[in-house]
Structure 1
């Protein structure tokens, strides 16, 4: 069984535009033909009426000269002589159409007897003009048959010529419409075809595909959106690959240590001592921390973290968080100082905000050389609460600042676990700030290290 013919969008657009052109063209053709035929007949009718009036005046003059109609009876030559005289010397006030009479006419007297005319009966609906003498007496009539259709061969030939010319124009216009429609459909669908081809490449996994933006209309905007989508997919694919590589790297080291320790104990090279068990527990702790961070990051990426927002005080949260770090900072040779107002009311989740502050202070603790200092400032710049976490050397270059909130990114090239964590803390921070409608950024610190700035929009609660 053969499948039905499926027309592409190019053929459909061509047929739609071409059908519309043909409908308009045929309608115009028949409209012009009807207008011409009726107008031509009206033109003949007006000419005949003028001739009837002039012939009636001429016959009235002849009747007054002769006193009766005897001069016209059985004298058709006289009437045609008068007609030729009227055609050759028309009155300047009565400009006659050319080519003479186009219908039959009759001259009848007072008793309705035909003086001049064909043997056919006088049509009652024909044009009738009185033959009136100078004293107002009606002595006869000139009657012309109604020009309902063309009768003269010259008029018929002229009408046929106009028909042929009209159909020739229709044929040429059809060819021109087909050509213009074909070019138009190709031009309009060229960007669509590029988008279709690009979509096929994108669906096949070629995220480097881009389409040409050739206009500034809706199709051009669609092409720009397609390119942005392809760029986002390409970036996400690159991040996914990097994410998988980073996870495998993060898991490989503690697993390798655990495997080595266990094999050493199994072979009797290392004894099962509390110190060995503690080493194993340390690596298990690293794995547990990595899994917890991954879980927290996945939840924050999906917006699935439970945010229980309520009225809270940022100053109180910062003081509690800083208090839990004071001893660790002193043991590392670092000084932690706070510059804050008396209170900072805010509507947010206090647990997630403390997690945010904890990650930032933990980051400064790991990456600040001793002796060093960390300064936390909080101030209000309507409508935002502004916060800065500044630490001393070492600093972070501009390229690293742009990547510092990406997952698994750590500034040290060796990825040394002694100083670095899982590389997920700042990524989680960014998600928490975004969930509170804020903004987080990294810059150079005046103290010589890194400066993390936060903007949290303050909306007073009723």
Structure 2
């Protein structure tokens, strides 16, 4: 079956603009043509009527002088003499159009007999003026053919020339309109074509594709949005590849250890002792923690984490979490201090916020050297609660602080799981904070280590009930 012809947007835009131009051109042509024809006919009609009036008055005077029409019969030369005298009379107050009559005319007597004029029949629809003597007697008429019946070759040629000129103007204007429309459609659709080509490139997986932004209108804004989308896709693709590489790296090491331990036991190189089982169990714990962190991160990225928000006291949550870490901090010879207000009302999910505080204290416990200090403080800053989790040495380099919240990023180059964990805890913290309408950032601590700053919304107690 033959496919129907499909016009592209360029052809559609060209046809739309060109059709509009043609409609305007044709309308203007017929408007000018009708205006000219009516104006030209009115011009001729007015001249004829003036000549009819003057000629009828002059013939009335001649009739009174001669007493009959005998002087005029078969004497056309006299008529032209009278007409010439009327047009050349300098004392005349009548503004006659030049070049004489444009139509045929006849002079008839009171018995409707032709006294002077062409051999053609007298037109019944022609203009006429009565020849009236001074005593009011009508002795004849001067009749002219309709103004639409041009007889002078110059007038006919002029009318024909005007028609030809109008059609030439229409033809040239049509070509000019087609050219301008083609250039206009091409110019307007050039950025759209670039966007279409860029979209095809983007769909093919070439996320480095960018389009040129050549204007500040809606098309330009669309091009900027396209480039932003391409950058986001390129970044997401890069993150995806890095994410897969990091996952494989994180899973490979504990699995390799488990496999080595089990193969050593199978070969009899290592005996199945409680210490060997404990070593295997520790690697299983690492894998379990990594899988759980990945699950939590995927849920928070997808917005699938269940947030059951309610009025709460941030101070109470922090004290509960800090109390659960007391023994572990003392076992690492670390000091955990709290500088909190009496209460800090807010609105959020207590379970997720406790998970947030737990991850931050776990991060400080893991990275702070023995004998150091971890300080948690809070104060109100405008419409927000500002929380600081500061610890002592070691710190984090300035260029690495901005990457702390990236998944699988750890500041130490050794990627040691004994201190580094899975590298997902701070990424989960960022998602939880943003889900509560807050912000999180990292900076140097005045204790010599790292300071994590949270900003969570402040909700007055009376409005949270």
| TM-score bucket (shorter structure) | over 0.9
Summarize the Cα distance change of 1:90–1:131 in structure 2 as closer, same or farther, 3 Å threshold: farther
| Distance in 2 of aligned mates of 1:260 and 1:90 | 132
Paired residue secondary structure (2:419): coil
- Return structure 1 stretches of 4+ with deviation > 6 angstroms: none
Aligned 8 A contact 1:150 1:156 in 2: yes
Farther off after superposition, 367-376 or 40-49: 367-376
Q: Which residue of 1 aligns with 2:464?
A: 461
Shift of 1:266: 0.7
Q: In the TM superposition, what whole-angstrom CA distance separates every residue of 1:230-262 from its partner, at most 9, and x where no partner exists?
A: 000000000000000000000011001101100
| Distance in 1 of aligned mates of 2:389 and 2:138 | 120
| Distance in 1 of aligned mates of 2:90 and 2:202 | 84
Q: Which residue of 1 aligns with 2:410?
A: 410
Q: Which residue of 1 aligns with 2:7?
A: 7
Paired residue secondary structure (2:96): coil
Q: Which residue of 2 aligns with 1:294?
A: 294
Shift of 1:17: 2.0
Paired residue secondary structure (2:387): strand
Paired residue secondary structure (1:419): helix
User: What does 1:239-258 align with in structure 2 at a 5 Å threshold?
Assistant: 239-258=239-258
Q: Does 1:322 align with 2:322?
A: yes
Q: In the TM superposition, what whole-angstrom CA distance separates every residue of 1:139-190 from its partner, at most 9, and x where no partner exists?
A: 4432222223433322221122112212222222222122212211211111
Q: Which residue of 2 aligns with 1:171?
A: 171
| Distance in 2 of aligned mates of 1:53 and 1:71 | 20
Aligned 8 A contact 1:126 1:143 in 2: yes
Shift of 1:110: 4.6
| Distance in 1 of aligned mates of 2:445 and 2:137 | 122
Q: Which residue of 1 aligns with 2:63?
A: 63
User: What does 1:294-443 align with in structure 2 at a 5 Å threshold?
Assistant: 294-443=294-443
Summarize the Cα distance change of 1:91–1:353 in structure 2 as closer, same or farther, 3 Å threshold: farther
Q: Which residue of 1 aligns with 2:198?
A: 198
User: What does 1:48-59 align with in structure 2 at a 5 Å threshold?
Assistant: 48-59=48-59
Q: Which residue of 1 aligns with 2:147?
A: 147
Aligned 8 A contact 1:106 1:117 in 2: yes
Flag structure 1 segments of 5+ consecutive residues without an equivalent. Answer: none
| Distance in 1 of aligned mates of 2:368 and 2:76 | 131
Shift of 1:103: 1.6
Q: Which residue of 2 aligns with 1:283?
A: 283
User: What does 1:20-169 align with in structure 2 at a 5 Å threshold?
Assistant: 20-89=20-89, 93-110=93-110, 112-133=112-133, 138-169=138-169
Measured on the aligned residues, the alpha-carbon RMSD in Å equals 2.0
Summarize the Cα distance change of 1:90–1:360 in structure 2 as closer, same or farther, 3 Å threshold: farther
Paired residue secondary structure (1:403): coil
Shift of 1:31: 2.4
How many residues in Structure 1 have an aligned counterpart in Structure 2?
Answer: 462
| Distance in 2 of aligned mates of 1:242 and 1:209 | 21
Paired residue secondary structure (2:418): coil
Aligned 8 A contact 1:41 1:149 in 2: no
Flag structure 2 segments of 5+ consecutive residues without an equivalent. Answer: none
Aligned 8 A contact 2:347 2:457 in 1: no
Farther off after superposition, 374-383 or 421-430: 374-383
Farther off after superposition, 67-76 or 201-210: 67-76
Shift of 1:87: 3.1
Farther off after superposition, 263-272 or 63-72: 63-72
| Distance in 1 of aligned mates of 2:67 and 2:207 | 108
Paired residue secondary structure (2:276): helix
| Distance in 2 of aligned mates of 1:14 and 1:227 | 28
Summarize the Cα distance change of 1:96–1:75 in structure 2 as closer, same or farther, 3 Å threshold: same
Aligned 8 A contact 1:211 1:227 in 2: yes
Q: Which residue of 2 aligns with 1:212?
A: 212
Summarize the Cα distance change of 1:270–1:24 in structure 2 as closer, same or farther, 3 Å threshold: same
Paired residue secondary structure (2:386): strand
Q: Which residue of 2 aligns with 1:259?
A: 259
Shift of 1:120: 4.6
| Distance in 2 of aligned mates of 1:132 and 1:266 | 145
| Distance in 1 of aligned mates of 2:137 and 2:399 | 116
Aligned 8 A contact 1:63 1:69 in 2: yes
| Distance in 2 of aligned mates of 1:92 and 1:303 | 100
Aligned 8 A contact 2:104 2:151 in 1: no
